[in-house]
């Protein structure tokens, strides 16, 4: 199992992580090595096995919808890099 450079670049664009040339090369080698380790799973016959998504055995948990205290707007946005008038300021999503 080995990845080529274009696949690494495609993955990086999907996860919105900028990478330098060196990082792309390093990740190509390392991810290929790691994927190679995963091939061991092919030994196991899993036809018909129900997948486990979670460690617990919980069904959907419900609670009453009761009003309670909540954080102030100032607190909620207190860690935002850019704010304006109690709002988070973002870069333009739609370009002209």
What residues contact 61, with CB distance under 8 A and at least 6 apart? none
Return the H-helix or E-strand segment holding 52. Answer: none
Buried b (16+ CB within 10 A) or exposed e, 44-56: eeeeeeeeeeeee
Residue in 6, 35, 73, 87 binding other proteins, rule: CB under 8 A: 35
Q: Which of residues 51-90 bind other proteins (CB under 8 A)?
A: 51-56, 58, 61, 63, 71, 75-76, 78-82, 88, 90
**Contact between 16 and other proteins (CB under 8 A)?**
yes
Nearest distance from residue 60's CB to other proteins, in Å? 8
Q: Residue 11, Cβ neighbours under 10 Å: how many?
A: 16
Q: Residue 4, Cβ neighbours under 10 Å: how many?
A: 10
**Contact between 31 and other proteins (CB under 8 A)?**
yes
Which residues sit at the interface with other proteins, rule CB under 8 A?
A: 8, 11-12, 14-19, 23, 26-27, 30-31, 33-35, 37-38, 40-41, 43-44, 46, 49-56, 58, 61, 63, 71, 75-76, 78-82, 88, 90-93
């Amino acid at each position: 199992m080995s990845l080529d450079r274009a696949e690494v670049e495609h993955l990086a664009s999907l996860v919105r992580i900028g990478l330098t040339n060196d990082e792309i090369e390093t990740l190509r080698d390392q991810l290929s090595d790691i994927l190679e380790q995963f091939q061991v799973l092919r030994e196991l016959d899993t036809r018909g096995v129900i997948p486990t998504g979670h460690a617990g055995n919980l069904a959907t948990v419900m609670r009453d919808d009761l009003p309670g205290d909540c954080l102030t707007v100032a607190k909620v946005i207190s860690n935002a890099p850019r704010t304006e008038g109690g709002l988070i300021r973002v870069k333009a999503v739609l370009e002209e």
